[in-house]
């Protein structure tokens, strides 16, 4: 996401979160990310949904961090921002699973969604 904003550590954030997507082979160039997504069309597989959620959350939190650094004295580390992104996406996946929209939620390793599983059924 190097050309995406003036936030210098955004590439590190992208490198951390892309491991949880099918975009792990895409370098941190915003143009390459968008071109890859466009080439996939409106495919609604669980992997594509995760990819879009991660890209959206990454864009949001990197932009939020940029604004915080410009207009306030707050500063989060890239590791903290990556954790926020992954937590945000994880919560969205849990809500999708509960709505039966995300039927194959267990197919994605690393999201640690088992802790949110209903114990009663």
| Residue 121, in any domain of the structure | no
Q: Is residue 5 part of a domain?
A: no
Report how many domains make up the chain: 1
- Of 85, 73, 81, 72, nearest to 9 by C-alpha is 81
65 pLDDT above the threshold of 50: yes
**Cβ atoms of 43 and 72 closer than 8 Å:** no
Residue whose tokens read 């940029």 = 66
Instruction: Kindly report, residue by residue over 103-119, the tens digit of the pLDDT.
Output: 555 555 566 666 666 55
CB atoms within 10 A of CB 18: 21
**What percent of the chain shows pLDDT beyond 70?**
71
47, 15, 19, 37: which is closest to 28 by C-alpha?
A: 15
- What is the per-residue pLDDT for 58? 92
Tokens of 107: 């197919």
Is 103 part of a structural domain of the chain? Answer: yes
- Residue 115 falls within a domain, yes or no? no
More confident residue, 97 or 99: 97
- In order of 24, 62, 89, 118, 120, the CA distances from 54 in angstroms are 12, 12, 6, 24, 30
The pLDDT of 5-25, averaged and rounded, is 79
117 falls within a domain: no
Q: Helix (H, G, I), strand (E, B), or coil: what is residue 60?
A: helix
pTM: 0.77
Q: Could you tell me if 59 and 28 are in contact, meaning their C-beta atoms sit under 8 angstroms apart?
A: no
Domain that holds residue 31: 10-110
Percentages (nearest 5) of helix, strand, coil residues in the chain: 60, 0, 40
86 is a domain residue: yes
User: What is the reported pLDDT for 36?
Assistant: 83
Per DSSP, 20 falls in state G
What pLDDT is recorded for position 121? Answer: 47
Query: Is the pLDDT higher at 100 or at 75?
Result: 75
What's the pLDDT at 80?
A: 95
Task: Name the band, by pLDDT with cuts 50, 70 and 90, for residue 2.
Answer: very low
Residue 79 has pLDDT above 90, yes or no: yes
């Amino acid at each position: 996401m190097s050309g995406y904003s003036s936030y210098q550590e955004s590439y590190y954030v992208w490198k951390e979160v892309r491991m949880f997507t099918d975009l792990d082979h895409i370098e941190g160039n915003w143009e390459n990310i968008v071109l890859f997504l466009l080439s996939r069309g409106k495919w609604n597989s669980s992997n594509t949904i995760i990819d879009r959620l991660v890209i959206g959350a990454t864009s949001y939190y990197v932009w939020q961090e940029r604004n915080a650094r410009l207009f306030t004295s707050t500063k989060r580390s890239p590791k903290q921002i990556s954790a926020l992104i992954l937590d945000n996406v994880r919560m969205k996946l849990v809500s999708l699973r509960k709505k039966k929209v995300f039927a194959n939620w267990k197919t994605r390793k690393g999201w640690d969604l088992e802790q949110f599983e209903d114990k009663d059924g």
